[in-house]
Amino acid sequence: MKKQFLFITLILFTIISACNSNPKPEQNLDAMPDNSLTSLDWPGIYRGVLPCADCEGVETEIKINADLTYVISSTYLGKNEEAFKKAGSFKWDEAGAKITLENVDPNASANQFLVGENMLFKLDADGNRIEGDLKEMYQLKKVYLDSTIAEKYWKLIELNGKKIILGKNQNTAPHLTLKNENSRVFGNGGCNTFQGAYELEEGNKIKFSKIGSTKMFCDYMGTEQALLQVLEKVENYSVENDTVSLNNPTMVSLAKFQMIYAK
């Protein structure tokens, strides 16, 4: 009886020892912190105009990629309209909150950013948020691109519910093109060329701004003037086959375009 008890005890000890020799690894919660790097959909294109000491502002576009590379484009408004581009890699800080663009002049106006929800916040030379009345100017906003409508020549076929009929001797049909680069819109109202900026957001939202045009006079200015007014009111768009409608907030079509060709 005593030998049987010792045998059972030996078996139990062997089983316990085997379990302890292969313990389950403990989960390291600190290895996956809830930070910008791990919790945000941060890759993408960010745009904005940063303050400038000797110009009207630095129109800035930064594309940050999941492979930790970037492309930055800077245009000094009112000084030199040429875009300066630079590509390289970037690194995250240990907290997974800030990025530093490498291969950029350390004295440049854009090399450290705090990564937020759909935003990049320009940081000062010490890596801190810029405060004060101008703090909102040190932000770049993530842009939404839609290849369905961008980089295509759209011919105006309907405006405020009326079909477009070209005037006598009118050689140019009203049209527009949305360019992905710097979110610019270029077009012609049938007489004058125009250009400006546009902004896309999820949910097919679109907004036009800073629209300017040449000042020639034509006999058929009514359509052109109405089109420019419509662009100020548009808030969303819808696409069906080769047609895009620019709509008001209640989804009523203000202008309808037909795609002629892709750029």
What dihedral do alpha carbons 99, 86, 61, 56 form, nearest 10°? 110
Q: How far apart are the first and last CA of the chain?
A: 93
Amino acid at 95: A
**152-262 matches 36-142 in CATH topology:** yes
The dihedrals phi and psi of 37, each to the nearest 5 degrees, come to -60, -40
Distance CA 192, CA 172 (A): 10
pTM over 0.85? The answer is: no
186-to-29, 122, 183, 256 alpha-carbon distances in Å: 51, 30, 10, 16
Model confidence at 133, pLDDT cuts 50, 70, 90, reads: confident
Looking at mean pLDDT, say which of 25-29, 53-57, 65-69, 79-83 comes out highest.
Answer: 65-69
pLDDT value at position 223? 95
pLDDT value at position 105? 63
pLDDT (average), residues 106-133? 85
Residue 61, Cβ density class (10 Å: 0-12 exposed, 13-18 middle, ≥19 buried): buried
Fold of 152-262: Lipocalin (2.40.128)
pLDDT (average), residues 132-145? 89
pLDDT value at position 246? 98
- Return the percentage of the chain with pLDDT > 90, whole number: 62
| The two three-digit tokens of residue 94, written as one number | 């240990």
pLDDT (average), residues 216-237? 94
pLDDT (average), residues 69-84? 87
pLDDT (average), residues 66-92? 90
- Return the percentage of the chain with pLDDT > 70, whole number: 84
Distance CA 179, CA 185 (A): 6
- Is the predicted pLDDT of residue 107 greater than 90, yes or no? no
Beta strand ranges found along the chain (DSSP E): 44-50, 57-64, 69-77, 80-92, 98-101, 112-116, 119-122, 139-142, 152-159, 162-163, 175-179, 184-188, 193-201, 205-213, 236-240, 243-247, 253-262
CB 215 within 8 A of CB 225: no
Q: Where are the domains of the chain?
A: 36-142, 152-262
CB 123 within 8 A of CB 109: no
SS3 of 93, please? coil
CATH tag, 36-142: 2.40.128.640
| The two three-digit tokens of residue 166, written as one number | 């070209």
Model confidence at 146, pLDDT cuts 50, 70, 90, reads: confident
- Stronger pLDDT, 154 or 110, i.e. the higher one: 154
pLDDT value at position 5? 45
Model confidence at 110, pLDDT cuts 50, 70, 90, reads: low
